[in-house]
Amino acid sequence: MSVNKEFVKFDKVDKSYDGKVLVVKDLQLDIAEGEFITMLGPSGSGKTTCLMMLAGFETPTNGEIYLDGNAISSIPPHKRGIGMVFQNYALFPHMTVYENLAFPLRVRKIPKDEADKKIDKALSMVSLQGFASRMPGQLSGGQQQRVAVARSLVFDPQLVLMDEPLGALDKNLRESMQYEIKHIHESIGVTVVYVTHDQSEALTMSNRIAVFNDGKVQQLSSPDELYEKPVNSFVAEFIGENNTFTGEVSEISDQKCKVKLSNAEIMANPISVKSKGEKTKVSLRPERALINPKDKMDNIHNGKIEEVIYHGDHTRVRINLLGNPEFILKVPNSSANLDIKLGNEIKIGWNSEDARALDPK
């Protein structure tokens, strides 16, 4: 049986709340069955609106959304059979955990013994057996969150939407919940559409990530591709850390281009520049630049250490390089430490392949 590549399909979807501003512009997005896809973007980028349209709480102003081949714009939310985890969990405070989980089963008129089995299964999936008779108010934030996940899965939906479900948790709990949700997804193979503004969350959990900005999908690709090969400077800056140089293309070939900065020239990989004279922003990940490189690299420049910040497993070094005082380097803390001291001049090198010349924006 082949996997349905268009399990969820946004087809030319526009959305406007006031008739003046489009919060979602011409969205074209296919989600495969069993996929874990994350909508990532800053607040106001339209990602939550997309989720709400999929859930049925908002209607597209234009275009159509298909679920398993059926147009769903005219189907009310309660008939879509989509599980949803809300930002603040939205557990029913007057019902016990059991009753919360039983709610979707009861409205589907599932017999009690079968429902009990499903509830047991869902609770054990989030390791909350024995909590069935508790009230949500008696649970910690992480436990409530897990109940919310269990509730969204208990009626075996094919699609589960999660709207920043981990936003209210502290950092450690958030990380462990990320793995837990990922494992649940892997074990039951449900399709998940996940919304977050936290890029590390998106990178660890997803099969694919759709980066939203300004109502548009900027890039839709796997986490590693998104990080290693951002297609424009918004994505490059939004995902992970990033060193940039702004300049003008002075020479260009298929594989390489030369970018003229205010006082130097660097070699870069032409991604969105096509011709000589174009303005560009060159993006370089901090870990791609090395101090005192031994290999032959086509960019080697001298910089002055401005700041050294100790981070435990690595040290962040801020260097004034080629007129950019915000150039960041991450140096692993090993016994063979280099001579990193404030004010020292050091040699820094990187391959032109990793320096991506993107749109200037």
Partner 1 sequence: MSSETKQILTTDGIPLEVSLKKAERKNKIKAFLLVAPLLFFLIITYVFPIGDMLFRSVDDKMVTQMLPKTFKAMETWDGQELPDEEVFAAFHEDFIKLVEDKREGKLSTQLNYTKNGFKSIIKKLRRKSKTFEEGNYKEQIMSVHKRWADVEYWRAIKRRAPEFTSQKYLKGMDMYVNEEGKIVSVEEDRRIHRVLWLRTLEIAFFVTVFCFLMAYPIAHLLATLPMKYSNLLMICVLLPFWTSLLVRTASWMILLQQQGIVNDFFVGIGLVADDNRPEMMYNKTGSYVAMTQILLPFMVLPLYSVMKTISPSLMRAGKSLGGTPFVAFWKVYFPLTIPGIGAGCLLVFILAIGYYITPALVGGASGTLISNQIAFHMKSTLDWSFASAMGLMLLSGVLVIYWLYNKIVGIDNIKLG
Chain residues binding partner 1 by CB under 8 A are: 55-57, 76-84, 86-88, 90-94, 103-104, 107-108, 151-152, 155, 161
Q: Least CB distance from residue 321 to partner 1, whole Å?
A: 48
97 versus 284: smaller Cβ distance to partner 1: 97
Q: What's the CA gap between 347 and 302, in Å, rounded?
A: 5
Burial class (CB in 10 A: 0-12, 13-18, 19+), 291: middle
Q: Which helix (H) or strand (E) holds 107?
A: helix 97-107
Query: Which candidate, 163, 129, 134, 151, places its Cα nearest to that of 54?
Result: 163
Q: What's the CA gap between 23 and 17, in Å, rounded?
A: 8
Taking residue 44's Cβ as centre, other Cβ atoms within 10 Å add up to 14
Q: Least CB distance from residue 57 to partner 1, whole Å?
A: 6
66 versus 103: smaller Cβ distance to partner 1: 103
58 versus 359: smaller Cβ distance to partner 1: 58
Q: Least CB distance from residue 227 to partner 1, whole Å?
A: 32
57 versus 179: smaller Cβ distance to partner 1: 57
63 versus 77: smaller Cβ distance to partner 1: 77
Ordered alpha helix ranges (H), 273-318: none
Burial class (CB in 10 A: 0-12, 13-18, 19+), 16: middle
Task: Report CA Rg, the chain.
Answer: 24
Q: Least CB distance from residue 84 to partner 1, whole Å?
A: 4
Q: Least CB distance from residue 196 to partner 1, whole Å?
A: 17
42 versus 93: smaller Cβ distance to partner 1: 93
33 versus 163: smaller Cβ distance to partner 1: 163
74: left (phi over 0), alpha (psi -120 to 50) or beta: alpha
Q: Least CB distance from residue 164 to partner 1, whole Å?
A: 12
Q: Least CB distance from residue 86 to partner 1, whole Å?
A: 5
Helices (H) and strands (E) in the chain, counts: 8, 20
Q: Least CB distance from residue 120 to partner 1, whole Å?
A: 18
Tokens of 321: 């390089």
12 versus 94: smaller Cβ distance to partner 1: 94
Query: Which candidate, 326, 340, 230, places its Cα nearest to that of 286?
Result: 326
Check: CB of residue 342 under 8 Å from CB of residue 320.
Answer: no
